[in-house]
């Protein structure tokens, strides 16, 4: 199976949460879950440049990312993409990422319902994001897939 | 000074260890990091993970691994528990699903988070 396989691209298009494994400069593993968007054959994962995932992807660009259809219990396949990551804080890329993330995770029935039922936490969410901005910049971990496998 | 945190007491995330919505481990190999979905049996405080026997790569005895158990799709539903530790091969636990190679993870660090539980705490860092 290649990374250009239509089934691979469809899984990446429909999955909601990516789990990305990274290595520290000293070779220690970590894994975390991040939001993402597919972009021209790449996968863009969003975080901040001070986070462990971003720092480790800069230290060692090799990454391993899992995708699954979280909302389809009838399809239990899990896709693993292995590839190379670059970390960018470029503002144009950030803008392109942010509005696509808004469409995918907020501006749809599920996202709207989720925000509507948690309206009391908007202030805390804004503060949380502001805290992150004080520590560093938003960034995109741009993954170029090299290998795709269903596992 | 106050700060907003997503962090929760890992005991508050024990339901994730019981229900296991999504579970995977990360470990290191020559070719780079490996993210591997796993079966999880959390019993009597012990973390036993099953890697499918067909998996091309598995942790070696004594490898450091990170276990991530998480759930959610939309922002305020995102929750997870993260356990870093050392993996040792063990016999399959009782009532374990077939077709897996089993490891017990001895935790060295455990953290948990819940974006639906954002709250202000004293900033004592």
* Partner B contacted by A60 (CB < 8 A): yes
Q: Is residue B125, in this structure, part of any structural domain at all? A: no
What is the predicted pLDDT for the residue at B125?
67
For the segment A59-88, what is each residue's pLDDT rounded down to a tens digit?
A: 999 999 999 999 877 888 999 999 999 999
Contact at 8 Å (CB) between A24 and A60?
yes
Q: Is residue A65, in this structure, part of any structural domain at all? A: yes
Decide: helix, strand or coil at residue A29.
Answer: strand
For the segment B70-107, what is each residue's pLDDT rounded down to a tens digit?
A: 999 999 999 999 999 999 999 999 999 999 999 999 99
Q: How far is it, in rounded angstroms, from Cα A55 to Cα A34?
A: 14
Domain containing residue B62: CATH number: 2.30.110.10
Site of tokens 């636990």: B93
Q: List the domain range (segments joined by +) for residue B12.
A: 2-115
What's the domain count of chain B? 1
* pLDDT averaged per 10 residues in sequence order, chain A, 151 residues: 89 97 97 97 97 98 97 88 98 96 96 96 95 96 96 88
What's the domain count of chain A? 1
In chain A, the residue whose alpha carbon lies closest to the alpha carbon of B23 is A19
What global pTM score does this model have?
0.96
Q: List the domain range (segments joined by +) for residue A112.
A: 6-150
Domain containing residue A36: CATH number: 2.30.110.10
* Partner B contacted by A24 (CB < 8 A): no
Q: Is residue A1, in this structure, part of any structural domain at all? A: no
Q: Is residue B121, in this structure, part of any structural domain at all? A: no
Q: Is residue A116, in this structure, part of any structural domain at all? A: yes
Predicted complex: ipTM over 0.90: yes
Q: Is residue A143, in this structure, part of any structural domain at all? A: yes
Q: Is residue B98, in this structure, part of any structural domain at all? A: yes
Decide: helix, strand or coil at residue A51.
Answer: coil
Q: How far is it, in rounded angstroms, from Cα A42 to Cα A143?
A: 6
């Amino acid at each position: 199976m290649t990374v250009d396989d239509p089934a691979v691209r469809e899984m990446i298009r429909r999955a909601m949460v990516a789990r990305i494994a990274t290595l520290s400069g000293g070779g220690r593993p970590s894994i975390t879950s991040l939001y993402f968007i597919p972009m021209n054959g790449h996968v863009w994962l969003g975080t901040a440049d001070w986070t462990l995932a971003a720092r480790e992807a800069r230290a060692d660009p090799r990454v391993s990312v899992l995708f699954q259809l979280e909302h389809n219990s009838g399809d239990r396949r899990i896709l693993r993409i292995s590839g190379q990551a670059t970390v960018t804080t470029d503002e144009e890329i950030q803008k392109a990422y942010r509005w696509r993330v808004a469409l995918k995770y907020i501006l749809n029935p599920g996202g709207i319902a989720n925000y509507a039922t948690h309206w009391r936490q908007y202030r805390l969410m804004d503060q949380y994001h502001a805290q992150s901005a004080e520590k560093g910049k938003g960034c995109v971990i741009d993954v170029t897939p090299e290998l795709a496998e269903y596992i | 000074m106050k700060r907003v945190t997503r962090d929760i007491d890992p005991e508050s995330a024990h339901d994730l260890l019981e229900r296991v919505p999504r579970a995977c481990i990360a470990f290191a190999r020559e070719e780079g990091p490996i993210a591997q979905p796993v079966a999880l049996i959390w019993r009597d405080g012990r973390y036993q993970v099953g890697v499918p026997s067909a998996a091309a790569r598995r942790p070696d005895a004594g490898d450091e691994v990170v276990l991530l158990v998480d759930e959610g799709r939309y922002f305020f539903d995102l929750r997870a528990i993260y356990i870093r530790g050392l993996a040792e091969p063990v016999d399959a636990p009782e009532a374990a699903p077939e077709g897996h190679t089993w490891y017990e993870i001895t935790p060295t660090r455990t953290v948990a988070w819940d974006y639906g539980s954002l709250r202000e705490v004293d900033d004592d860092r």
